[in-house]
């Protein structure tokens, strides 16, 4: 099993290494040598390890259990290796962007990196203190973690049978060739990002690099700040709102006809929830309300105004953030469709035990139950941990949900927060991003059938 994982992890490393060469190229073009030296280590390590792993091991098809492990290792090692540029920039070149203690520097760097790759999008750093190539590096890291990694794994690594089973876990089921479908999805994202960037440049007169940073961050529902959104006009903010909604939209709308109806229903409800939730915000400007409401519901985490909630508002936003966006999107959370499946499942169970009827649920509908339990369980555990360290109950719950659903908004949290809480949040963002670790045991028998 280890050799299988090493080989496929090598492919992921090579892909990530190639993608992360672009910020290095940008640093070289603008003659930012310090950023270039700091950033180049990550892609070089990715490419070197990727080549070494592929040479030392022979690629074989992964079963479902190994595929889950690969997903976890992917996000962990992306975050770990991706933290190196921050450490070099801070320690070697003496730019004080992290904590003073060396151990805390390592934790800060890992937190920052995992926040990008998992699309959590909360930063301990002030982006204004970072050079432009680093901002581009962070934005691209979100894009890699939010859009490309899962699609690349499904397209080039997992076998058809494993991909078919994994799509059930993600919340849908298809019979057509998934690899072709996913390549089409990537093409759709690239076209949407290109149009989005063009519109921002045209209407807001901002630089192309700024537009690309906003695009990569928004479509991956990441949220790491790269621009002062308060400087955008109402048109610019509306464009960003569209990007957030697009990122949280089920891609079945575009390619999977069988699930198009539920994808459209998810989209309609998402937009409806955004308008409903905006009424709970106290901002005077309508576009500000919609922007921040969409930011939380799509789990993007963009923000340019100070958020201040009452206990009731904390509860409302925590519930909707826990639900998140649509299945098969870059958004986090339980997902809207799974709430449908959960309600349907409860009805079927009632029919079975009260009216003695057979349960008629499909695999991807049954998945809603363990995923719902997974999110609620870790929310409760995490809230208790935050409360232990002095956070109020409402902030403990919201911060926990925010990390699990990769919303990227935290209250009373910054670079001076306890290292143990930084590690805990980084852990929550990783398991929240992949959302399927607890399903390994559920699919253990299925996995064995593949061996």
Say yes or no to pLDDT of 195 above 50: yes
346 and 318, same structural domain?
no
Stretch 324-336: mean pLDDT: 89
In sequence order, what DSSP letters do the residues of 169-197 get, joined into one string? Answer: HHT----S-HHHHHHHHHHHHHHHHHHHH
Inter-residue contact 6 to 56 (CB < 8 Å): yes
Domain boundary among 302, 323, 344: 323
CA distance 198 to 55: 42
419 and 289, same structural domain?
no
Domain boundary among 278, 296, 323: 323
pLDDT at 447: 41
319 and 357, same structural domain?
no
Stretch 326-354: mean pLDDT: 85
pLDDT at 344: 84
The pTM is what? 0.89
294 and 363, same structural domain?
no
Stretch 53-72: mean pLDDT: 73
Domain boundary among 323, 346, 374: 323
357 and 319, same structural domain?
no
- Give the percent of the chain with pLDDT over 70: 83
Stretch 212-233: mean pLDDT: 94
Say yes or no to pLDDT of 160 above 80: no
130 and 226, same structural domain?
yes
358 and 308, same structural domain?
no
313 and 291, same structural domain?
yes
Print the domain residue range for 59.
2-323
Average pLDDT, the chain: 85
Candidate from 139-148, 181-190, 198-207, 408-417 with smallest mean pLDDT: 181-190
Q: How many domains would you assign to the chain?
A: 2
CA distance 288 to 293: 8
> Coil, strand or helix: which one is 413?
coil
367 and 299, same structural domain?
no
pLDDT at 445: 44
If you search the block for the tokens 């962007």, which residue do you land on?
97
């Amino acid at each position: 099993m280890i050799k299988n994982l090493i080989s496929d992890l090598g492919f992921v490393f090579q892909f990530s290494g190639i993608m992360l060469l672009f910020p290095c190229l940008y640093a070289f073009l603008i003659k930012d040598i310090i950023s270039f030296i700091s950033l180049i280590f990550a892609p070089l390590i990715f490419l070197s390890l990727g080549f070494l792993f592929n040479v030392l091991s022979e690629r074989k098809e992964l079963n479902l259990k190994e595929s889950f492990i690969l997903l976890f290792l992917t996000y962990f090692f992306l975050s770990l290796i991706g933290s190196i540029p921050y450490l070099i920039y801070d320690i070697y070149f003496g730019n004080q962007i992290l904590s003073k203690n060396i151990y805390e520097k390592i934790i800060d760097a890992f937190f920052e990196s995992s926040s990008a790759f998992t699309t959590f999008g909360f930063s301990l750093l002030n982006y204004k203190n970072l050079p432009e190539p680093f901002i581009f590096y962070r934005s691209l890291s979100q894009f890699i973690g939010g859009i490309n990694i899962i699609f690349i794994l499904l397209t080039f690594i997992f076998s058809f049978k494993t991909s078919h089973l994994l799509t059930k876990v993600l919340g849908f089921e298809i019979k057509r060739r998934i690899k072709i479908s996913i390549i089409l999805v990537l093409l759709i994202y690239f076209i949407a990002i290109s149009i989005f960037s063009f519109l921002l440049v045209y209407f807001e007169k901002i630089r192309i690099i700024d537009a690309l940073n906003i695009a990569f961050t928004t479509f991956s529902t990441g949220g790491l700040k790269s621009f002062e959104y308060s400087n955008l006009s109402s048109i610019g903010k509306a464009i960003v709102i569209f990007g957030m909604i697009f990122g949280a939209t089920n891609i079945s709308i575009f390619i999977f006809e069988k699930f198009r109806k539920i994808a459209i229903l998810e989209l309609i409800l998402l937009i409806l929830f955004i308008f409903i939730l905006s009424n709970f915000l106290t901002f005077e400007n309508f576009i500000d309300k919609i922007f921040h409401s969409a930011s939380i519901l799509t789990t993007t985490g963009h923000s340019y105004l100070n958020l201040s909630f009452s206990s009731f508002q904390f509860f409302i936003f925590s519930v909707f953030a826990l639900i998140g966006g649509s299945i098969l999107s870059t958004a986090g959370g339980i997902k809207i469709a799974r709430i449908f499946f959960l309600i349907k499942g409860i009805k079927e169970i009632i029919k079975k035990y009260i009216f003695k009827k057979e349960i008629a649920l499909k695999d991807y509908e049954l998945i809603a139950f363990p995923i719902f339990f997974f999110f609620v369980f870790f929310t409760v555990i995490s809230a208790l941990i935050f409360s232990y360290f002095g956070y109020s109950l409402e902030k403990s719950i919201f911060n926990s949900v925010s990390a699990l659903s990769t919303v990227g908004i935290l209250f009373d949290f910054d670079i001076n927060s306890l290292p143990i809480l930084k590690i805990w949040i980084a852990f929550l963002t990783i398991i929240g991003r992949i959302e399927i670790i607890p399903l390994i045991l559920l699919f253990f028998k299925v996995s064995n059938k593949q061996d």
